Protein backbone atom coordinates (compact mmCIF):
# COMPACT_ATOMS: atom_id res chain seq x y z
CA UNK A 1 0.00 0.00 0.00
CA UNK A 2 1.32 3.44 -0.90
CA UNK A 3 2.13 5.84 1.90
CA UNK A 4 0.10 9.02 2.35
CA UNK A 5 3.06 11.02 1.04
CA UNK A 6 3.26 8.91 -2.14
CA UNK A 7 -0.45 9.31 -2.73
CA UNK A 8 -0.20 13.07 -2.35
CA UNK A 9 2.75 13.16 -4.74
CA UNK A 10 0.79 11.14 -7.32
CA UNK A 11 -2.18 13.47 -7.00
CA UNK A 12 0.10 16.49 -7.52
CA UNK A 13 1.56 14.93 -10.68
CA UNK A 14 -1.92 14.21 -12.04
CA UNK A 15 -3.01 17.74 -11.23
CA UNK A 16 -0.01 19.19 -13.06
CA UNK A 17 -0.76 17.02 -16.10
CA UNK A 18 -4.39 18.14 -16.15
CA UNK A 19 -3.39 21.80 -15.76
CA UNK A 20 -0.91 21.41 -18.62
CA UNK A 21 -3.58 19.95 -20.88
CA UNK A 22 -6.01 22.72 -19.96
CA UNK A 23 -3.37 25.38 -20.61
CA UNK A 24 -2.54 23.85 -24.01
CA UNK A 25 -6.20 23.67 -25.03
CA UNK A 26 -6.77 27.24 -23.87
CA UNK A 27 -3.78 28.51 -25.84
CA UNK A 28 -5.04 26.69 -28.96
CA UNK A 29 -8.49 28.25 -28.63
CA UNK A 30 -7.07 31.73 -28.05
CA UNK A 31 -4.66 31.47 -30.95
CA UNK A 32 -7.51 30.26 -33.17
CA UNK A 33 -10.17 32.80 -32.24
CA UNK A 34 -8.58 35.81 -30.56
CA UNK A 35 -7.91 38.50 -33.20
CA UNK A 36 -5.09 39.87 -31.06
CA UNK A 37 -3.06 36.69 -31.57
CA UNK A 38 -1.16 36.81 -34.89
CA UNK A 39 -2.14 34.18 -37.44
CA UNK A 40 -1.72 33.65 -41.19
CA UNK A 41 -2.50 36.89 -43.00
CA UNK A 42 -5.22 36.74 -45.68
CA UNK A 43 -3.95 37.02 -49.23
CA UNK A 44 -4.49 40.18 -51.25
CA UNK A 45 -7.83 40.34 -53.05
CA UNK A 46 -7.46 39.49 -56.71
CA UNK A 47 -6.37 36.60 -58.89
CA UNK A 48 -3.19 34.67 -59.56
CA UNK A 49 -2.51 33.18 -62.98
CA UNK A 50 -0.03 30.29 -63.05
CA UNK A 51 1.45 28.75 -66.18
CA UNK A 52 4.65 26.73 -66.02
CA UNK A 53 7.06 28.46 -63.65
CA UNK A 54 5.35 31.85 -63.92
CA UNK A 55 2.87 33.22 -61.38
CA UNK A 56 1.27 36.59 -62.05
CA UNK A 57 -0.94 38.52 -59.60
CA UNK A 58 -3.80 40.76 -60.74
CA UNK A 59 -6.06 43.03 -58.73
CA UNK A 60 -9.80 42.48 -59.31
CA UNK A 61 -9.81 45.46 -61.68
CA UNK A 62 -6.84 44.18 -63.65
CA UNK A 63 -8.31 40.68 -63.89
CA UNK A 64 -11.59 42.05 -65.22
CA UNK A 65 -9.97 44.08 -68.01
CA UNK A 66 -7.60 41.23 -68.87
CA UNK A 67 -10.68 39.06 -69.42
CA UNK A 68 -12.03 41.61 -71.91
CA UNK A 69 -8.74 41.82 -73.83
CA UNK A 70 -8.49 38.04 -74.10
CA UNK A 71 -12.19 37.51 -74.86
CA UNK A 72 -11.92 39.95 -77.77
CA UNK A 73 -9.03 37.93 -79.19
CA UNK A 74 -11.12 34.75 -78.91
CA UNK A 75 -14.05 36.48 -80.63
CA UNK A 76 -11.75 37.25 -83.56
CA UNK A 77 -10.37 33.69 -83.68
CA UNK A 78 -6.86 34.99 -83.06
CA UNK A 79 -4.21 32.69 -81.54
CA UNK A 80 -3.08 33.12 -77.90
CA UNK A 81 -0.01 34.99 -79.15
CA UNK A 82 -2.24 37.92 -80.10
CA UNK A 83 -3.58 38.07 -76.55
CA UNK A 84 -0.01 37.86 -75.21
CA UNK A 85 1.04 40.90 -77.24
CA UNK A 86 -2.08 42.85 -76.27
CA UNK A 87 -1.70 42.03 -72.58
CA UNK A 88 2.00 42.97 -72.55
CA UNK A 89 1.06 46.27 -74.16
CA UNK A 90 -1.70 47.06 -71.67
CA UNK A 91 0.54 46.03 -68.76
CA UNK A 92 3.09 48.59 -69.86
CA UNK A 93 0.75 51.38 -70.95
CA UNK A 94 -1.84 51.39 -68.15
CA UNK A 95 -0.96 48.57 -65.72
CA UNK A 96 -4.14 46.90 -67.04
CA UNK A 97 -6.36 49.75 -65.84
CA UNK A 98 -8.95 51.58 -67.90
CA UNK A 99 -7.77 55.09 -67.03
CA UNK A 100 -9.07 58.36 -68.46
CA UNK A 101 -5.72 60.15 -68.44
CA UNK A 102 -2.18 59.74 -69.71
CA UNK A 103 0.61 61.36 -71.68
CA UNK A 104 -0.88 64.21 -73.72
CA UNK A 105 -4.27 62.91 -74.92
CA UNK A 106 -3.63 59.21 -74.24
CA UNK A 107 -6.46 57.32 -72.50
CA UNK A 108 -7.69 53.80 -71.85
CA UNK A 109 -6.12 50.38 -71.43
CA UNK A 110 -3.70 50.86 -74.31
CA UNK A 111 -3.23 54.63 -73.89
CA UNK A 112 -4.47 55.23 -77.41
CA UNK A 113 -4.60 58.84 -78.61
CA UNK A 114 -7.60 60.43 -80.36
CA UNK A 115 -5.18 62.80 -82.10
CA UNK A 116 -3.51 59.80 -83.77
CA UNK A 117 -6.73 58.42 -85.18
CA UNK A 118 -7.54 55.73 -82.60
CA UNK A 119 -11.07 57.06 -82.07
CA UNK A 120 -12.84 59.47 -79.75
CA UNK A 121 -12.14 59.53 -76.03
CA UNK A 122 -15.53 57.94 -75.41
CA UNK A 123 -14.77 55.13 -77.87
CA UNK A 124 -11.30 54.45 -76.53
CA UNK A 125 -12.59 54.30 -72.96
CA UNK A 126 -14.71 51.32 -74.02
CA UNK A 127 -12.34 48.37 -73.38
CA UNK A 128 -13.99 46.29 -76.11
CA UNK A 129 -13.47 49.03 -78.68
CA UNK A 130 -9.88 49.76 -77.66
CA UNK A 131 -9.00 46.05 -77.64
CA UNK A 132 -10.53 45.64 -81.08
CA UNK A 133 -8.59 48.62 -82.40
CA UNK A 134 -5.37 47.15 -81.04
CA UNK A 135 -6.00 43.84 -82.77
CA UNK A 136 -6.99 45.60 -86.01
CA UNK A 137 -3.56 47.24 -86.06
CA UNK A 138 -1.71 44.18 -84.79
CA UNK A 139 -2.74 41.84 -87.61
CA UNK A 140 -1.42 44.38 -90.12
CA UNK A 141 2.12 44.12 -88.71
CA UNK A 142 4.18 41.87 -90.93
CA UNK A 143 5.38 38.75 -89.10
CA UNK A 144 3.45 39.49 -85.89
CA UNK A 145 2.79 35.77 -85.37
CA UNK A 146 6.48 34.97 -84.93
CA UNK A 147 8.25 38.27 -84.34
CA UNK A 148 9.64 39.54 -81.05
CA UNK A 149 6.71 40.49 -78.82
CA UNK A 150 8.25 43.78 -77.72
CA UNK A 151 9.08 44.82 -81.27
CA UNK A 152 5.65 43.88 -82.60
CA UNK A 153 3.93 45.81 -79.81
CA UNK A 154 6.09 48.83 -80.55
CA UNK A 155 5.12 48.77 -84.23
CA UNK A 156 1.50 48.97 -83.17
CA UNK A 157 1.94 51.58 -80.43
CA UNK A 158 4.84 53.74 -81.66
CA UNK A 159 5.72 54.43 -78.02
CA UNK A 160 8.29 56.85 -76.71
CA UNK A 161 9.64 53.94 -74.64
CA UNK A 162 10.24 51.44 -77.45
CA UNK A 163 11.67 48.68 -75.24
CA UNK A 164 9.09 49.01 -72.46
CA UNK A 165 7.02 45.96 -73.35
CA UNK A 166 9.84 43.46 -73.00
CA UNK A 167 9.68 43.20 -69.21
CA UNK A 168 6.05 42.09 -69.39
CA UNK A 169 6.47 39.30 -71.94
CA UNK A 170 6.63 36.29 -69.60
CA UNK A 171 3.73 37.45 -67.44
CA UNK A 172 1.65 38.29 -70.49
CA UNK A 173 2.26 34.90 -72.09
CA UNK A 174 1.34 33.10 -68.85
CA UNK A 175 -1.85 35.13 -68.41
CA UNK A 176 -2.84 34.68 -72.05
CA UNK A 177 -2.27 30.93 -71.82
CA UNK A 178 -4.53 30.69 -68.76
CA UNK A 179 -7.37 32.91 -69.99
CA UNK A 180 -7.44 31.35 -73.48
CA UNK A 181 -7.84 27.94 -71.85
CA UNK A 182 -4.50 26.58 -72.98
CA UNK A 183 -3.41 26.23 -69.35
CA UNK A 184 -6.25 24.44 -67.49
CA UNK A 185 -6.71 25.07 -63.76
CA UNK A 186 -4.27 27.95 -64.02
CA UNK A 187 -6.31 30.67 -62.30
CA UNK A 188 -7.34 31.16 -58.69
CA UNK A 189 -8.95 34.19 -57.07
CA UNK A 190 -9.77 35.49 -53.59
CA UNK A 191 -12.39 38.17 -52.98
CA UNK A 192 -14.00 39.39 -49.78
CA UNK A 193 -16.26 42.14 -51.10
CA UNK A 194 -18.41 41.86 -54.22
CA UNK A 195 -19.50 44.80 -56.40
CA UNK A 196 -21.94 43.21 -58.88
CA UNK A 197 -23.14 46.54 -60.27
CA UNK A 198 -19.98 46.76 -62.39
CA UNK A 199 -20.10 43.27 -63.88
CA UNK A 200 -18.58 42.57 -67.31
CA UNK A 201 -18.97 38.78 -67.28
CA UNK A 202 -22.17 38.94 -69.32
CA UNK A 203 -20.33 40.93 -71.99
CA UNK A 204 -17.60 38.30 -72.08
CA UNK A 205 -20.29 35.74 -72.89
CA UNK A 206 -22.38 37.81 -75.30
CA UNK A 207 -19.43 39.36 -77.15
CA UNK A 208 -16.22 37.40 -76.75
CA UNK A 209 -17.67 33.89 -76.60
CA UNK A 210 -20.76 34.43 -78.74
CA UNK A 211 -21.22 31.51 -81.12
CA UNK A 212 -18.43 29.56 -79.42
CA UNK A 213 -20.14 28.71 -76.13
CA UNK A 214 -23.81 27.83 -75.53
CA UNK A 215 -25.16 29.35 -72.32
CA UNK A 216 -27.98 28.15 -70.10
CA UNK A 217 -28.78 29.21 -66.55
CA UNK A 218 -30.99 27.85 -63.79
CA UNK A 219 -31.09 30.01 -60.70
CA UNK A 220 -27.56 30.78 -59.63
CA UNK A 221 -25.94 28.08 -61.77
CA UNK A 222 -24.76 28.80 -65.31
CA UNK A 223 -23.78 26.01 -67.72
CA UNK A 224 -21.42 26.81 -70.58
CA UNK A 225 -21.13 24.19 -73.32
CA UNK A 226 -18.13 24.92 -75.53
CA UNK A 227 -17.00 23.72 -78.92
CA UNK A 228 -13.75 22.34 -77.49
CA UNK A 229 -12.12 21.53 -74.14
CA UNK A 230 -9.82 24.55 -74.57
CA UNK A 231 -12.79 26.86 -75.00
CA UNK A 232 -14.47 25.29 -71.96
CA UNK A 233 -11.44 26.18 -69.86
CA UNK A 234 -11.31 29.65 -71.40
CA UNK A 235 -14.97 30.20 -70.54
CA UNK A 236 -14.56 28.98 -66.97
CA UNK A 237 -11.45 31.01 -66.23
CA UNK A 238 -12.71 34.15 -67.98
CA UNK A 239 -15.75 34.00 -65.70
CA UNK A 240 -13.45 33.63 -62.70
CA UNK A 241 -11.56 36.76 -63.74
CA UNK A 242 -14.75 38.71 -63.00
CA UNK A 243 -15.08 37.00 -59.62
CA UNK A 244 -15.68 40.24 -57.71
CA UNK A 245 -18.24 41.64 -60.15
CA UNK A 246 -20.02 38.39 -60.93
CA UNK A 247 -19.82 36.94 -57.37
CA UNK A 248 -18.42 33.65 -58.70
CA UNK A 249 -18.43 31.04 -55.93
CA UNK A 250 -17.61 27.80 -57.72
CA UNK A 251 -16.33 26.69 -61.14
CA UNK A 252 -16.33 23.16 -62.52
CA UNK A 253 -14.86 22.12 -65.86
CA UNK A 254 -15.24 18.72 -67.52
CA UNK A 255 -17.54 17.06 -65.00
CA UNK A 256 -19.78 15.74 -67.78
CA UNK A 257 -16.88 13.61 -68.99
CA UNK A 258 -16.95 11.60 -65.77
CA UNK A 259 -13.97 13.28 -64.15
CA UNK A 260 -13.27 17.00 -64.30
CA UNK A 261 -11.87 19.62 -61.95
CA UNK A 262 -13.48 22.12 -59.62
CA UNK A 263 -12.57 25.32 -57.81
CA UNK A 264 -14.36 26.95 -54.86
CA UNK A 265 -13.64 30.56 -54.00
CA UNK A 266 -12.12 31.14 -50.56
CA UNK A 267 -12.04 34.75 -49.34
CA UNK A 268 -8.64 34.62 -47.66
CA UNK A 269 -6.56 32.31 -49.84
CA UNK A 270 -6.10 31.26 -53.44
CA UNK A 271 -7.97 27.97 -53.51
CA UNK A 272 -6.40 25.02 -55.32
CA UNK A 273 -8.26 23.25 -58.11
CA UNK A 274 -9.33 19.74 -57.15
CA UNK A 275 -10.32 16.66 -59.10
CA UNK A 276 -8.96 14.77 -62.09
CA UNK A 277 -8.36 16.40 -65.48
CA UNK A 278 -10.91 15.44 -68.13
CA UNK A 279 -9.24 16.06 -71.52
CA UNK A 280 -12.50 15.55 -73.40
CA UNK A 281 -14.66 17.76 -71.17
CA UNK A 282 -16.40 20.64 -72.96
CA UNK A 283 -18.75 21.89 -70.22
CA UNK A 284 -17.99 24.54 -67.61
CA UNK A 285 -20.44 25.12 -64.75
CA UNK A 286 -20.36 28.45 -62.89
CA UNK A 287 -22.10 28.83 -59.53
CA UNK A 288 -22.81 32.39 -58.38
CA UNK A 289 -23.68 33.68 -54.95
Residue spans of the domains in the chain: they are: 1-39, 46-288
In this predicted model, what pLDDT tens digit does every residue of 102-146 receive, in sequence order? Answer: 999 999 999 999 999 999 999 999 999 999 999 999 999 999 999
- The pLDDT score that the predictor gives to residue 38 is 56
197 pLDDT exceeds 90?
no
* Distance in angstroms (rounded) separating the CA atoms of residues 203 and 147: 31
What's the mean pLDDT in 141-152?
Answer: 97
SS3 state at 248:
strand
57 to 2, 46, 190, 239, 271: CA distances (angstroms): 68, 7, 11, 17, 14
In this predicted model, what pLDDT tens digit does every residue of 46-102 receive, in sequence order? Answer: 999 999 999 999 999 999 999 999 999 999 999 999 999 999 999 999 999 999 999
- What does pTM read for this prediction? 0.86
**Nearest alpha carbon to residue 191 among 264, 245, 267:** 267
Amino acid sequence: MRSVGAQIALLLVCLLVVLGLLFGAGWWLVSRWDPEVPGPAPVAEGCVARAGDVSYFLTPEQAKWASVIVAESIRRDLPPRAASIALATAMQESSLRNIDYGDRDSVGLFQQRPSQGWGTVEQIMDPWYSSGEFYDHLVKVKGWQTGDINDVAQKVQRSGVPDGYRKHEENAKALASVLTGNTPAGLSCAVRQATPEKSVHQQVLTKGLKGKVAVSQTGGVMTLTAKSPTLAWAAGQLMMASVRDAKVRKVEVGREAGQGQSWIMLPDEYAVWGGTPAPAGTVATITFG
